[in-house]
Structure 1
């Protein structure tokens, strides 16, 4: 006779010891699945702290060499470069200047670690325009989608020529993937990878990033970034980018959009990445600084959640630090 007073199913067996928990873990993190975003500022010879992102800095060309060397040593998969120019104009001329800060930094980083990790560049105009939008404006002050595509084509060729192995198309213009892919292939850059920021939402969590790039934005980007309430639209945008020839698609932000990330991952036959954005970083750092959460565990858990939802790779400002913890086996 079966003793019904004792549970027949005991799931806790699989959680009984550290070794058992490690053996049965469904989601594991590896340093190679992490990408470190880096800001490189024109006109500085030293690393400048970003107040709203404790521990993150604006690099100069010398300090970025050290940063990417550390990233390569930690085994992270890549670095994503953002430029912070000294001067800006209506069309973002600095973005296509071969000697502009982003392209100069790309050459430095490619020379330093190009064989050890994937050198990536942000392909967007917002850091380079005096109005702070991701594209050029028409006579009425609206972002002109098709005129912006021409600028993106030009940016793609300069970035690829500077040594970028992967272009991060973050502007959310219609047709940007097809336009950039055509330009790259036409110029012989057939091996340059295109990462489409497909489901990029008009999020409040970008606030500290705008400090990091010294954004001049007036108004908002809701006419081209996605409505935070729209789930199906995020999937639709990813499918469009896949059809246009993207090599990788991205969901951004990550933490607040895990449902969108899971939707895209469920149907995509190409890699799916996610960006753990500045606001997500800043909230954990602020809470940890006040002693309200365990910082190390919170960092690990937040990135694990993004991977669990379906991201193959996570862009995170903690990439190198987290990689170090993983290499030491701190979460075993």
Structure 2
């Protein structure tokens, strides 16, 4: 007798009835770039990321109102400061670009929108790396970077952030941030760790947007971000972050690392999220502009694929648009 699985594909109603993966608004987190050089309602389009913008610390509030009204539950903020130096001092300035943005957003929206702050040095250092640099030995320093990260986390918490998201990939940073937050009366602030962040070629458009490309003699981040050939290493990294106090885990990028999302989801009883990064976004946008793919279908398929792999939430640049679609 012929087996006929196609019976369950005959109509859209049947396909929807038996669909194994569901994408909802609560799965979405919208990334936003905040540029300290912009004023008022001024915004600046990001050339390598069509339809994405930098916002001012004031203008981002209106953007966040729209995001919240659409039912997207959270945003994650990335800053472009006026001033950069060797030690990322503007990142932990209480009047820094992200600190101002957090206060402005929370003053207007309160608990109607979760505000997550990416916690790293790269956007604030003159050399573009995620840690301090020992130029004599041409090395990105690990332990010396942790106090700087802790200062940044505390300043974000003091400004009213809901979740801290360390993306630097320094060893021991989750434990250092948890200790610093707890000692400064921020025991309720969760840590969403970029537990498996790969040294990926898909970050190019983001580095344009955030002006965070490495500029020192150390030309890449391969000494601290993960090797794309490895999966067991990702599990060790995630396990260490959980042991140190991470409340949520991110895998970044998403599409080349669906297997990592799946393995992490199978092995750890903690929310596993994915970051569908700038390069993944821009590839689909470019192919769509050239008429090579159906844009909406490709976006929906991509996000469902990430959910199917086991992601509890997805940081992605289509969050507003997909919320409208859903």
Task: Give the alignment's TM-score, normalised by structure 2.
Answer: 0.96
1:127 is displaced (CA, Å) by 0.3
The alignment status of 1:147 with 2:135, answered yes or no, reads: no
2:117–2:164 Cα contact (<8 Å) kept: yes
Matched, 1:180 2:181: no
Deviation, structure 1 residue 11: 1.1
Equivalent residue, structure 1, for 2:49: 53
**Aligned-partner Cα distance in 1 for 2:73–2:265:** 20
What is the CA–CA distance in structure 2 between the aligned matches of 1:112 and 1:298, rounded to whole Å?
35
**Is contact 1:38-1:81 (8 Å) kept?**
yes
Q: Which stretches of structure 1, 4 residues or more, deviate above 4 A after TM superposition? A: none
Query: What 5-or-longer segments of structure 1 have no aligned partner?
Result: 327-332
RMSD: 0.9
Partner of 2:72: 76
Q: Tell me, which stretches of 5 or more residues in structure 2 are unaligned?
A: none
Mapped partners of 1:141, 1:164: distance in 2: 35
Q: Distance in 2 between matches of 1:94 and 1:242?
A: 29
- Of residues 123, 135, 139 in structure 1, which corresponds to 2:131? 135
- Structure 1: how far apart are the matches of 2:158 and 2:191? 14
CA distance in 2, matches of 1:179, 1:254: 27
Q: Is the 8 A contact 2:84 2:90 kept in 1?
A: yes
SS in 2 for 1:147: coil
Quick check: 2:58–2:101 contact (8 Å CA) kept in 1?
Answer: no
Say which of 197, 207, 210 aligns to 2:207: 210
Matched, 1:10 2:4: yes
2:223 is the alignment partner of 1:226? no
Question: Which of 164, 186, 202 is the equivalent residue of 1:167?
Answer: 164
Alignment partners' CA distance in 1, 2:299 and 2:106: 29
TM-score normalised by L of structure 1: 0.95
Matches of 2:63 and 2:8 in 1, distance apart?
40
Of stretches 57-66 and 266-275 in structure 1, the one that deviates more from structure 2 is 57-66
Other-structure match for 2:188: 191
Q: Distance in 1 between the 2:32 and 2:257 partners? A: 23
Instruction: Give runs of aligned pairs for residues 1-332 of structure 1, distance below 5 A.
Output: 4=1, 7=2, 9-45=3-39, 46-138=42-134, 139-218=136-215, 219-326=219-326
